[in-house]
Amino acid sequence: MTPFRVSIFAAIAALILLAIVFELMRSRRLQERYALLWLLTGLVVFVFAAWRSLLGWAADAVGIAYPPSALFVFASFFILLVLLHYSTVISRLSEQNTVLAQRLALLEHELERVRATD
Amino acid sequence: MATPADTIRSSSDVVKLTSLRRLAIVPALNEAGSIESVIRDIRAEDPDFEVLVVDDGSSDSTAALADAAGALVVRLPFNLGIGGAVQSGLQFAREHGFDIAVQIDADGQHDPSQLPQLLAPLITGEADVVVGSRFLGERNYKAPLVRRIGIRVFAGIVSALVGQPLTDTSSSFRAFGRRAIAYFARDYPHGFVETVEATVIAARCGLRLKEVPVVMRQRLMGQSSLTLPLSIYYSIKVLVAVFVGIFRRGAYELKED
């Protein structure tokens, strides 16, 4: 069984994470689409911390003898998902950045041509 | 069902309408099959409407057909999603001094003959945003049950939040007055299912909302761009956004002009 102090600590940490994400969204520094995975991470950690028998069962199911280690593994998995998501976001942004630079260069050229003929 | 005679209340309203500059914003993504008839129908209903097609990264001939049909065309360099496309149109409306902007879908669902009902509350000055509701008055809205339930659930939540009974917060057949154009040109939700969030934002920053009954047509061509997993994702996103929105003030002060 998970020691009580571990559960309490993990639950508080998860709530702090959720509160920070909420405040960042409220003050418009974090868009909803990028906040969803963080919210999910916070919720999963909170549920496993608060529902101790569920954590024990899940740890047993994946063959981890010490339940707090399972909590750590689950949290790491979600953080990995967040990172992977960011990689896709960066890929899209760099792609769009290229398109914007190309369009801008062509427009600039076009504008100079139009000015020259006036 | 309101008739045009009910909605345009006096001859002075008619005079006022003709003095107002009107823009139809038509966000379009691969709608080559229907875009021409949509533009034609808007012009047939009200020749003074300027039609702006915002091409949201189409890979077909949507932009060329719209241009040939006499519409103004703005081509986005890549797909921004419906919210970003509509906001581009609202920015155009603000920069060119339009008094009224109407959002009309490019798939032919929205019937331009219902524009008078939609514009009436803007002309009389009783609202800043007018939404054409599929659930007011005569109901012939045909959609899968799940979709209709989803629409009603959102409407229920948003009604409670904004303190005003609303029946359809998912309708994209909407008209914006000057104040709404000015605000939304700067702050408008992105992605899909953006209308729900836009409704909450509007109420938060003091824009007056009004729903009028509309009857939608069956879409002429194409499929809804929302698949089931996407619908679920956007529904969750919007619920989170709406929840956070309760604790948020408007991003900008609403300017009176």
> Mean per-residue pLDDT for B113-130?
94
Residue B48 has pLDDT above 60, yes or no: yes
Any idea what the Cα angle at residue A94 is, between residues A88 and A82, rounded to 5°? 25
pLDDT at B118: 94
Position B254 scores a pLDDT of 65
C-beta of residue B159 within 8 angstroms of C-beta of residue B131: no
The mean predicted confidence, pLDDT, of chain A is 93
| Confidence (pLDDT) at B2 | 44
Q: DSSP assignment, residue B22? A: E
Split at pLDDT 50, 70, 90, the class of A24 is very high
Mean pLDDT to the nearest integer, B249-254 = 64
Q: What pLDDT is stored for residue B15 in this prediction?
A: 62
When pLDDT is cut at 50, 70 and 90, the band that residue B203 belongs to is confident
CA-CA distance, B174 to A36, in Å (whole number)? 29
The predicted pLDDT at position B151 comes to 83
What pLDDT does residue B1 have? Answer: 41
* Chain A partners within 8 Å of B240 (Cβ): 25, 32, 35-36, 39
- CA nearest neighbour of B72 among B28, B116, B128: B28
B226 pLDDT higher than 70: no
Residue of A18, A32, A40, A93 best to disrupt the B interface, most CBs of B under 10 A: A32
Q: Are B248 and A99 inside 8 Å of each other by CB?
A: no
Residue B256 has pLDDT above 60, yes or no: no
Instruction: Give the pLDDT mean for A23-36.
Output: 91
Phi, psi for residue B26 in degrees, rounded to 5:
-115, 95
Residue B138 is predicted with a pLDDT of 66
Instruction: Please tell me which residue of chain B has the smallest CA distance to A21.
Output: B244
pLDDT of res. B6: 47
Q: Is B77 close to A39, i.e. CB distance below 8 A?
A: no
* Structure confidence by residue, pLDDT tens digits, A50-79: 999 999 999 999 999 999 999 999 999 999
Q: What is the pLDDT of residue B4?
A: 47
> Over pLDDT 70: what percentage of chain B?
84
Q: What's the number of CA atoms in the CB half-sphere (13 Å) around residue B229?
A: 0
Residues from chain B that touch A96, judged by Cβ atoms under 8 A, are 77-78
Mean pLDDT, chain B, whole residue set: 86
- Give me the DSSP letters along B90-135: HHHHHHTT-SEEEE--TTS-S-GGGHHHHHHHHHTTS-SEEEEESS
Distances (CA, A) of A107 to A111, A112, A113, B77, B88: 6, 9, 10, 12, 18
> What pLDDT does B39 receive?
96
Give the closest of B191, B236, B247 to A26, CB-based.
B247
Any A CB within 8 A of B244 CB: yes
Q: Is the pLDDT of residue B223 over 90?
A: no
Are A32 and B240 an interchain contact pair (Cβ–Cβ within 8 Å)? yes
pLDDT greater than 60 at residue B116: yes
Hey, what CATH topology would domain B4-246 get?
A: Spore Coat Polysaccharide Biosynthesis Protein SpsA; Chain A (3.90.550)
**Cα distance from A14 to chain B (closest Cα, Å)?**
18
Residue of B nearest to A99 (CA): B77
CB spacing of B237 vs A32 below 8 angstroms: yes
For the cut 70, the answer to whether the pLDDT of residue B126 exceeds it is yes
For the stretch B2-34, pLDDT in tens is: 444 445 555 566 666 678 999 999 999 999 999
Q: Would the CB atoms of A100 and B240 count as touching at under 8 Å? A: no
- Is A7 a residue whose pLDDT tops 70? yes
> Which residues of B, range 118-177, sit inside 8 Å of A by Cβ?
none
The residue among A3 and B75 whose pLDDT is bigger is B75
Q: What is the pLDDT of residues A89-99, one digit of tens each?
A: 999 999 999 99
Are the beta carbons of B99 and B21 closer than 8 angstroms? yes
Domain boundaries of chain B, sorted by first residue: 4-246
pLDDT at B17: 66
Say how far apart CA B200 and CA B206 lie, in whole Å.
Answer: 10
Residue length, chain B?
Answer: 257
What gap in Å lies between CA A52 and CA A31, rounded to an integer?
A: 32
Provide the number of CB pairs (under 8 Å) joining chain A to chain B: 27
Percent of chain A at pLDDT above 70? 100
- Statement: residue B186 has pLDDT above 80: yes
B157-182 pLDDT, tens digit each? 999 988 899 999 889 999 999 999 99
Residue A36's closest chain B neighbor by CA? B237
Q: Do B248 and A28 touch (CB under 8 A)?
A: yes
